[in-house]
Amino acid sequence: MRIPVRLTWTSGIYLVKVKNLAGQSGLYPLVVRNGTGERCDCGSAVHMAGVQRVSGFQLIHGGTRRPPRAVRFLRAALRPTMGHGRVSTIMRLQLGCFNCPVEGWVNTDITPHILVARVPFLPAVLYRLKLLTRERYGEHQRGVFRGLKFMDVTKRFPFKNDRFEAAFSSHVLEHLYQAQARFCLGEVHRVLQPGGILRLVVPDLDRCVESYDPDKPDELCRAMYESTHPRDKNRHHWMYNETSLRRLLEGVGFRDITRRSYRTGDCPDVAIIDNRPDSLFMEAKKRG
Ligand SMILES: C[S@@+](CC[C@H](N)C(=O)[O-])C[C@H]1O[C@@H](n2cnc3c(N)ncnc32)[C@H](O)[C@@H]1O
Q: Is 96 in the pocket of ligand 1 (CB under 6 A)?
A: yes
> Cβ distance 109 to 151 under 8 Å?
yes
CA-closest candidate to residue 149, choices 60, 212, 85: 85
pLDDT score recorded for residue 45: 38
State the angle between helix axes of 178-191 and 242-251 in degrees (0 to 180), rounded to the nearest 10.
60
Q: Is 98 in the pocket of ligand 1 (CB under 6 A)?
A: yes
Whole-number Å distance, alpha carbon 239 to ligand 1 midpoint, is 15
Nearest CA to ligand 1 atom 27: 98
pLDDT score recorded for residue 61: 59
> Cβ distance 199 to 265 under 8 Å?
yes
Whole-number Å distance, alpha carbon 213 to ligand 1 midpoint, is 28
Q: For the chain (length 288 residues), average pLDDT per consecutive 10?
A: 60 71 71 58 42 62 66 69 53 97 97 94 96 97 96 97 97 97 98 98 96 93 84 90 98 98 98 96 96
Nearest CA to ligand 1 atom 20: 152
pLDDT score recorded for residue 44: 35
Of 113, 175, 262, 272, the residue with max ligand 1 atoms within 8 A of its CB, to mutate for a pocket test, comes to 175
Residues paired with residue 255 on neighbouring β-strands, in sequence order: 285
Of 113, 185, 188, 233, the residue with max ligand 1 atoms within 8 A of its CB, to mutate for a pocket test, comes to 233
Q: Is 275 in the pocket of ligand 1 (CB under 6 A)?
A: yes
pLDDT score recorded for residue 34: 59
How many C-beta neighbours within 10 Å does residue 246 have?
Answer: 17
Q: Is 153 in the pocket of ligand 1 (CB under 6 A)?
A: yes
Task: Give the dihedral of Cα atoms 230, 231, 233, 238; nearest 10 deg.
Answer: 30
Q: Which contiguous run of DSSP H or E holds residue 12?
A: strand 12-20
> Cβ distance 200 to 169 under 8 Å?
yes
pLDDT score recorded for residue 162: 96
Q: Is 237 in the pocket of ligand 1 (CB under 6 A)?
A: no
Q: Is 204 in the pocket of ligand 1 (CB under 6 A)?
A: no
pLDDT score recorded for residue 20: 67
* Three-class SS state of 25: strand
pLDDT score recorded for residue 161: 96
All structural domains of the chain, each given as residue ranges with its CATH number in brackets, are: 12-61 (no CATH), 71-111+148-286 (3.40.50)
Of 93, 97, 98, the residue with max ligand 1 atoms within 8 A of its CB, to mutate for a pocket test, comes to 98
Alpha helices in the chain (DSSP H): 69-78, 113-118, 122-128, 134-141, 178-191, 205-210, 217-225, 242-251, 270-273
Q: Is 111 in the pocket of ligand 1 (CB under 6 A)?
A: yes
> Cβ distance 182 to 240 under 8 Å?
no
pLDDT score recorded for residue 47: 45
